[in-house]
Amino acid sequence: MQNRPVTCLIAATLLEAEPFLNIFDMKELEKQPFNIYEGRNFLLGITGIGKANAAIGTAYCCTRYQPACILNAGAAGAVDENRIVGSVYQVEKTIEPDRPHLMSNASFIQTPDILHGFSNAILATQDKPIIDVETFNELAAVTDLVDMEGASVLQAAKKFQKKCFLFKFVSDTPLHAGKGLIIENIKEHVVSFCEFVADSVIPSIKE
């Protein structure tokens, strides 16, 4: 690419990222080791699911393309059944329940960069997907949302001294546990989420 991109969008799957391809008129740059797209001074990297993929993919984009900031955008489960599927939250803190400190045994905590004017939530990131009500209830004491990538994107971005913002939309709640509705919910709400990110979040990052 000729110009240093302002923002690099990081998503786990094509399903979560595909609307951005149309919104920003993106063209494919690479297929390996990650699918990378370019458009309107933006990059989009699709890392794959899980903490290792997210960290490696983010680090790859940081070193190869030197973006000004990282924006992780995608779906997350909500631990509270009263949260509305499709609702959007900015992540104000990440925790990793499956990554305790060796000395204190407390979950690893990080703080992303924050934009004003958005609804905030705490995000728990872990490699094991949550499919049962019991686990949702256990995490409800420490978090609002759960995913499998956010904290790893944040850690990698900070290693490269990049600003990093995390925005998630609710794909499921304890009411959906075990019912196999997550993909259908993502399909139903992902376009409006990506439009929200493009229209409201990205302009705020530029200000």
Question: Using CA atoms, how far apart are residues 174 and 160, in angstroms rounded to an integer?
Answer: 36
The helix, strand and coil proportions of the chain, stated in percent and rounded to the nearest 5, come to 35, 30, 35
Tell me 58's DSSP state.
H
Question: Using CA atoms, how far apart are residues 107 and 100, in angstroms rounded to an integer?
Answer: 4
* Token code pair at residue 173: 């709640």
On whether the CB atoms of residues 156 and 67 are closer than 8 A, the answer is no
What is the pLDDT, as a whole number, of residue 58?
98
What is the pLDDT, as a whole number, of residue 107?
81
Instruction: Look at the domain 7-206 and name its fold.
Output: Rossmann fold (3.40.50)
C-alpha separations of 25 from 21, 28, 111 in Å: 6, 10, 32
Question: pLDDT tens digit string along 170-203?
Answer: 999 988 776 678 999 999 999 999 999 999 999 9
The H-or-E segment that residue 158 falls in is helix 150-159
Backbone angles phi, psi at 99, to 5 degrees: -135, 75
- The number of beta carbons lying within 10 Å of the beta carbon of residue 151 is 29
Residue ranges in the chain whose pLDDT is less than 50: 1-2
Question: Using CA atoms, how far apart are residues 45 and 52, in angstroms rounded to an integer?
Answer: 14
Q: What are the residue ranges spanned by the domains of the chain? A: 7-206
Question: Using CA atoms, how far apart are residues 99 and 89, in angstroms rounded to an integer?
Answer: 23
What is the pLDDT, as a whole number, of residue 105?
74
Angle at 126 between CA 155 and CA 178, to 5 degrees: 150
What is the pLDDT, as a whole number, of residue 3?
62
What is the pLDDT, as a whole number, of residue 181?
84
